Structure 1
Amino acid sequence: MIVIPSLLGGGAERVAVDLATYWQRKGYEVTLLTQSDSGTDVYHLPSTICRICTHQLGQTGIVAQIKKVWAIRRAIKQYRPDLVIGMMTSSSVMSILASIGLSVKVIATEHAHPPSQQLSSFWQKLRKMTYPRAAKVLALTKMSADWIHQHIPHTSVAVIPNAVRFPLHNQPPYIPVQKPDQTKLLLAVGRLHTEKGFDVLLNAFAQIADANNQWRLVILGEGGQRQALEDQIQQLGLENKVSLPGRVGNLKDWYEQADMFVLSSRYEGLSNSLQEAMASGLCVVSFDCDTGPREVIREGIDGVLVRPVSDSKALAESLNQLMRDENLRYYYASNAPEVIHRFSAQEIGEKWDDLFSTLLGCQ
């Protein structure tokens, strides 16, 4: 049983669907429990996978959280899974609480670097109290696992990264790629939230836009920072050089038409979009934030890591160098698709299979 608030969008939600689909194909009986129904889904869940909806999405307060725990507990009692997997912190905590006294093992997962999360003291305390009860806590990177070891004693931790989703398939909403002749496209993908650092990216692009007049920046995604970013674009005089089309379903088209990819995040878990861009054969540039990009990019081989994080001048210098050096872009781009093998669904799936076998006493 996979427990996650919704399939409304985001990396963890997409991973939940990918894992559920993979495990069903492997012969597991898979149940997905969400607080929202399929009407809010961004990612398609195969109809053959059992879906439980508790209709509790957006409900806040301590009483609401207790009701969510009881809803998970009722589902565990009804469906009697061998394993419950909480996707992200809140679902992991609630799944552990819901399982107390029941003969089920819970796997907690962290999809962001824990110290970068903006968790309330309430959730931090609950995490510290519940994670030692989990059969296993999974992190995406070694640094995140080390943090959990250090700050949540007596917790059994392992590292299993996300698999790269490739080949990509287009789905609605379709937004056509606008790329006039001779135009070069710098692409960024992510939620329009502060942690993605798109404000820094805009400041960096403003420093080099005139000197690289053929380049255009497109940021794909949606979120609460849209108005602030639109205002910043206007203030920087980039209206004709930067666009924010919104969330698109035809990412495949955009990756194929782009000439370079940039990740400007202040912090990351692992970054699905970075993996996808590299799998699509793009030269990539990323800030070297604490976790994520350095586990994916092999510096000097298939991409560039920029330091210090959130330094618009440093990012501008790296982007400017690559914009002016087509041969270097080609070199990085030619090596980038090796990420498909390094983070293949089969390799990552085998790590999960080994974990299941260990927890269920099959080896």
Structure 2
Amino acid sequence: MESIRNNWRLYKRVNTLIRENRIELCIGFMTTSNVLSVLASRSNGIPVVISERNNPEEEKNKLSHLWRFLKKYTYRKADKLVVQNNRIKSLYINDIDNKKLQIIPNPINPGLRPDPNVEMSNIILNVGRLERQKAQDTLIKAFANLNPSGWELHIIGDGRQRSYLEALIDQLHMNDKVRLLGKKKNIQPYYAKARIFVLSSLYEGFPNVLLEAMQMGKACISTDCPTGPSDIISHGDDGILVPVGNTAELEAALRDLIENPAKERQLGEKAKDATRPYQIENIAAVWEELIAELLK
């Protein structure tokens, strides 16, 4: 009941802000904000854009019956639903008019740029919360099986699986090679030092860290998880896709890049080119066009 009261207060606050500031268009991000944005906008007679940032297949099991109902009811009433890739769009195609669905991926952080003055080290990097979704245990096992001489695995992030991963690292006798670095405010130096980036997730909404690593010119390996990696990486051309949860395939991909530095460099160079559509000026232009269309 307290949650309902809090969201009712928030709805009334958004409603008041729209009315008092004569807002002409409302944009929501994430499920709760999307629902409240639609309700408040319809109450005030203004257009509303909502944006799905997560994988709805995974998220639906975390929502209560009430929020699942509210999501289904309100999403249909938005003027536009922005999603990040074709896979997520396909999940809504039966419930929402196709004309209301639009794909706009996340932009890359414009501050991330390769630094030619930084010398790379033999480091494999993973960035993500230490949660089951990110499946860093699969990466640790693959790295331990390979146990490459002179290489380290660095994992940036924190979360509920830290103790489990620490115990796994100890069990595999990898304490001198696998480092859990915790959360970092500035990740750029860690991208710059690494040679290889690995996304080991079970699922994603849209993997920003994968785009960031590619922008930094890293050779990238990613699980072919739902959703996002296969929209970003062309397998074998500007990155490598491996099956979700497959330790052996991930180990083989790591071995391939470690033993073939020329291939590692080539993938890194092509990865930079592949990120051009995601530059902030390109994504901003699409948003501007969408907003202008709704304000006509």
TM score, norm. by length of structure 1: 0.75
Q: CA deviation at 1:183?
A: 5.3
Residue matched to 1:114? 56
2:78 to 126, 130, 134: 134
Match of 1:325 in 2: 260
AA in 2 matched with 1:86? G
Q: Is the 8 A contact 1:164 1:344 kept in 2?
A: yes
SS in 1 for 2:198: strand
Letter in 1 for 2:88: S
SS in 2 for 1:305: strand
- Tell me if 1:124 matches 2:71: no
Any idea what SS the aligned residue of 1:99 has?
helix
- The equivalent position to 2:230 in structure 1, one of 283, 294, 315, is 294
- Of all paired residues, the percent bearing the same amino acid is 33
Q: Alignment partner of 2:189: what SS?
A: helix
CA distances 1:86-125 after superposition (whole Å, capped 9, x unpaired): 1111211121122232022211111122112243233222
Name the SS of the counterpart of 2:9 in structure 1.
helix
> 1:153: Cα distance to partner?
3.6
The Cα shift of 1:128 comes to 0.4
Query: Residues of 2 paired with 1:74 and 1:270: CA distance?
Result: 33
Partner residue in 1 for 2:103: 159
Aligned to 1:191: 129
Question: What CA distance in whole angstroms lies between the structure 2 residues aligned with 1:326 and 1:291?
Answer: 29
Which letter does structure 2 place at the counterpart of 1:246?
A: G
CA contact (8 A) 2:120 2:194 kept: no
Q: Which residue of 2 is the match for residue 51 of structure 1? A: none
SS at match of 1:218: strand
Q: What is the deviation of 1:80? A: 2.3
In the alignment, is residue 303 of structure 1 matched against residue 220 of structure 2? no
Output the CA distance in 1 between the equivalents of 2:207 and 2:125. Answer: 15
Whole-angstrom CA distance in 1 between matches of 2:90 and 2:2: 31
Q: Which residue of 1 aligns with 2:211?
A: 275
Residues 228 and 94 (structure 1 numbering): CA distance in 2 closer, same or farther, change over 3 Å? farther
Q: 1:353 aligns with which of 270, 288, 294?
A: 288
Q: Of 105, 121, 143, which residue of structure 2 is paired with 1:205? A: 143
Task: Give runs of ≥4 in structure 1 deviating > 3 Å.
Answer: none
Alignment RMSD:
2.0
Please give the alpha-carbon distance, in whole angstroms, between the structure 1 residues aligned to 2:271 and 2:20. Answer: 46
Alignment partner of 2:38 out of 74, 85, 96: 96
- Does residue 337 (structure 1) correspond to residue 277 (structure 2)? The answer is no
Contact 2:124/2:195 (<8 A) preserved: yes
Q: Indicate whether 1:63 and 2:63 are aligned.
A: no
Aligned partner letter, 2:151:
W
Distance 1:199 1:358, change over 3 A: same
User: Which amino acid is 1:112 matched to?
Assistant: N
Letter in 1 for 2:228: G
What is the CA–CA distance in structure 2 between the aligned matches of 1:350 and 1:258, rounded to whole Å? 32
Q: Following the alignment from structure 1 to structure 2, what is the Cα–Cα distance between the partners of residues 166 and 340?
A: 11
**Structure-2 residue corresponding to 1:172:** none
Could you tell me the TM-score, scaled by structure 2's length? 0.92
1:122-165 per-residue CA deviation (whole Å, 9 max, x = no partner) reads 32221101001111011000110111112x34472110011111
One-letter code aligned to 1:119: K
| C-alpha deviation, 1:67, in angstroms | 1.8
| Alpha-carbon contact 1:296-1:339 (below 8 Å) kept | yes
| Aligned 8 A contact 2:35 2:74 in 1 | yes
Per-residue deviation at 1:60?
5.6
Are the aligned partners of 1:270 and 1:295 in contact in 2 as well (CA < 8 Å)?
Answer: no
How far residue 189 of structure 1 moved from its aligned partner, in angstroms, is: 0.5
For residues 304-348 of structure 1, the C-alpha deviation after alignment (integer angstroms, 9 at most, x for no partner) is 0112x1112211111121111111101101111113422111211
Q: Structure 1: state its 5+ residue gaps.
A: 1-58, 170-178
Kindly indicate whether the alpha-carbon contact (under 8 Å) linking 2:202 and 2:245 is maintained by their aligned counterparts in 1: yes
Higher relative contact order (CA 8 A, sep 6+): 2
Decide which of 5, 15, 37 is 1:73's aligned counterpart: 15
Aligned length: 289
The answer to whether the Cα contact below 8 Å between 1:275 and 1:339 also exists between their aligned partners in 2 is no
Task: After superposition, give the CA deviation of every residue in 1:234-270 in whole Å (9 maximum; x if it has no partner).
Answer: 2222211111111112211111110100000111122
